[in-house]
Amino acid sequence: MFSLTGKTVLLTGASKGIGAETAKMLLGMGANLIAHYGGDRAGVEAVLAGVDPARALALQADFSKPEDVRQLWEQAVAWKGRVDVLVNNAAIFLNAGGIEEDEAEWDEVWDKTMQVNVRAPADLMRNAVHHYKTNGGGIIVTVVSWNAQRGSSSPKTIAYAASKGAIKAATQTIARTYADQNILAFIIAPGVVKTRMSEESALVLGGVEKLTADLAMKEWVPPEEIGSLIGFLATGACRHMTGGTIDVNGATYVR
């Protein structure tokens, strides 16, 4: 029913987890896909295996390096001459640098987390807004976390929670400021998704079994559900949802 045929999408963090499932969804909907990856070249190649090279381009960029982020956007636009949708999915989760850790570790974790999880996607959004203003509009979808809404359950991951809250606010600011220029920006806030990052997070919270027992549905969110939601938002079929945050957590956290 919904199609992205003829649309070009830049998806960050496409090599695994939510990103990999989203890449498959976007390609299945007919999009031309720029699949960004950080270091997992094999992962993104597996996702794009068998796809017509005219419809898929893998680009590497280290989000800890601002110059890589700028180059990523330039290469993305150069591929088809425009980008219609930016999906900010890439992020890091560092189970370190918390309240009780030493100052050197605190500083290192905060600096790296803010660069990768906030500054890099914010730079991409800034470039996207300028691009969209001269091309009749466009769409941004930012994947955050329920930590952006309620904070983290662990003092060890305070930087991660803060980063997700920050990029959520940045995306909302773009939505509010540019809605009248056909620039739409949506936020998705997943709960516990069945990904490697969530498995690492579970270690902080007492293990997989304990974390699962605390969930209302007693199961983790399948990453393909997030991919389906991103695909729908990328179509622009629900324009007046711009600025909204969609919770996907199986009713464990209801606002």
Return phi, psi of residue 58, to 5°. -95, 130
Residues contacting 233, CB < 8 A, separation 6+: 139, 141, 186, 188, 241
160 among known catalytic residues: yes
C-alpha angle with apex 36: 232 to 19, nearest 5 degrees? Answer: 45
CA distance 98 to 103: 9
Query: Structure tokens of 38?
Result: 């950080």
Choosing from 37, 160, 178, 253, which is the catalytic residue? 160
CA distances from 48 to 7, 44, 59, 60 (A): 17, 6, 12, 14
Cα distances (angstroms) measured from residue 165 to each of 62, 81, 88, 178, 187: 22, 32, 14, 20, 11
Token couple for 219: 């199961």
Catalytic residues: 160
